[in-house]
Amino acid sequence: MAKPKIAIFDFACCEGCQLQIVNLEEEILSLLGVADVVEWREAMSEKSDEYDIAIIEGSITRMEDEERIKRIRGCAKVLIALGACAATGGVNKLKNNFEDFEEVKKCVYGKAAGKPHLRTGVTKAVGEVVQVDYCVPGCPIDAKEFTYIVRSLLLGKTPEIPEYPVCVECKANGNPCLWQYDQVCLGPIIRAGCGARCPSSGFRCFGCRGYVDKPNVEAARDVINRYGLSVDDLKTKMVLFGSRQEPTIYE
């Protein structure tokens, strides 16, 4: 059987998720033993239009990007959204909180805001433009989860991505709840799979992996009241990765 062909593409992102793949080092060689990487700008110069699995990093922010992602989708048998920007829109969706993008650009780029390559539109997750078969959530992705997903797909198996929240992994790691240390941790409503990396290092969960399927809004409301917080307090903690994503607890 011929080795499946993998192509990796980037859109609006910091390329940090690809860096996680580059950082796999020895495991990359193992991956290359069972699959051919035919296009990967960050690591090689070849280009190709023939691939079985397309891995997409970044979100879609311009019309020409929409056309490009549609073209890629047309070539790929399986399309994977890699990282928060691709899977949910991620940090890029912060922009969608504002109505006047010209203002946003001035704020970010200053005098250069008018340059043509900085044209920008509403941020979309990849799945809002084309059909996504699998998501690797996270900012950045968890390398262990990424390799598990790739191996599963090469085996023809649907990978099992947790439906449960970060608390499960956090408690299994033997952490105390960060709320008891005055941190507004989003763990109870955010999808696990990262091994509760942030709370295990003492940082609250920022919510980079997106919400679980059925977050309990009622419970979140109860907890912020209990801790004497306002809806706005919580909103400021959710805005980084939770902008313009359903469900939100403040609507």
Partner 1 sequence: MTVKKLTKSDFASLVEDLIRTENVIGVQAKGDRFDFAPLASAADLRLDYDVTLQPPKKYFLPPAEVLLTFEVGGPYQSQLDGQKFILLGVHPYDMIAINQMDELFRQDNCDTHYLTRRNHATIVACDVVRPSGHVFASSMGTAVVKQGYDVLLTDVGDSYVVEAATPKGEQLLARAQNAVPAEPQALKRREDVWARNKKALNHYELKCDPAYLPKVLAKSYKHPVWEEKAKTCFSCGSCNQVCPTCYCFNVQDDVNWDLTTGQRIREWDGCLLDGFTKVAPAHEFRKARADRFRHRLYRKATYVPQKIGGQIACVGCGRCVGACLPDIANPVSIYNRLIDDLGIG
Partner 2 sequence: MCECCAQKKDIYLPQLATVADISQMNVTEKYLRLAMDDGPFDYIPGQFVEVSIAGIGEAPITISSSPTQGDSFELVIRKIGRVSGAIHNLQRGDKVGIRGPLGQGIYPVEESRGKNLVFICGGIGMVPQRSFIKYVLDNRGDYGDVAILQGTKSYDLRLFTAEIEAWGKRGDVQMIETLDEGDARWKGPVGVVTKLVSKVETDLKSALILVCGPPIMYKFVLMALAEHDVPHQNIFLNLERKMKCGVGKCGHCQINHAYVCMSGPVFRYSDLASLPEAI
Residue 167 in the binding site for partner 1 (CB under 8 A): yes
Contact between 188 and partner 1 per CB under 8 A = yes
Q: Are strands 53-57 and 36-40 parallel, antiparallel or unpaired?
A: unpaired
207 sits near partner 1 (criterion: CB under 8 A) = no
Binding status of residue 29 toward partner 2 by CB under 8 A: no
- The answer to the question of residue 42 lying near partner 1 (CB under 8 A) is no
Is residue 116 a contact residue for partner 2 (CB under 8 A)?
no
Residues 219-248 that bind partner 1 (CB under 8 A): 219-220, 222-223, 226
Helices and strands: H and E segment counts in the chain: 10, 5
Q: Quote the CA–CA distance of 194 and 149 in Å, as a whole number.
A: 13
Per CB under 8 A, does 250 bind partner 1? no
2 scored as a contact of partner 1 (CB under 8 A): no
**Counting Cβ atoms within 10 Å, is residue 97 exposed (0-12), middle (13-18) or buried (19+)?**
exposed
Which one of 42, 112, 157, 173 is in contact with partner 2 (CB under 8 A)? 157
How far the first Cα of the chain sits from its last, in Å, is 52
Q: What minimum distance in Å lies between the beta carbon of 45 and partner 1?
A: 25
**Of 146, 165, 34, which is closest to residue 80 (Cα–Cα)?**
146
Residue among 84, 110, 129 nearest 240 (CA): 84
Nearer to partner 2, 41 or 151 (CB): 151
Q: Does residue 154 interact with partner 1 by CB under 8 A?
A: yes
- Of 25, 155, 174, 180, the residue at the interface with partner 2 (CB under 8 A) is 155
Told to check if 177 binds partner 1 by CB under 8 A, we report yes
228 binds partner 2 (CB under 8 A): no
**Is residue 190 classed as helix, strand or coil in its secondary structure?**
strand
Cα separation of 188 and 242, whole Å? 14
Instruction: Please report whether residue 156 would count as binding partner 2 according to CB under 8 A.
Output: yes
Instruction: From 152-160, 165-173, 213-221, 240-248, give the range in contact with partner 2 by CB under 8 A.
Output: 152-160
Contact between residue 21 and residue 146 where contact means Cβ atoms under 8 Å apart? yes
CB within 8 Å of 128: residues ≥ 6 apart: 60, 89
Q: What is the largest CA-CA distance in the chain?
A: 61
Nearest distance from C-beta of residue 225 to partner 1, angstroms: 10
| Residue in 35, 25, 142, 15 with CA at minimum distance from that of residue 78 | 35
- The residues of the shown chain that bind partner 2, judged by CB under 8 A, are 155-158, 160
- The residues of the shown chain that bind partner 1, judged by CB under 8 A, are 27, 30-31, 33-34, 148, 151, 154-155, 160, 163-165, 167-168, 171-177, 179-180, 187-189, 212-216, 218-220, 222-223, 226
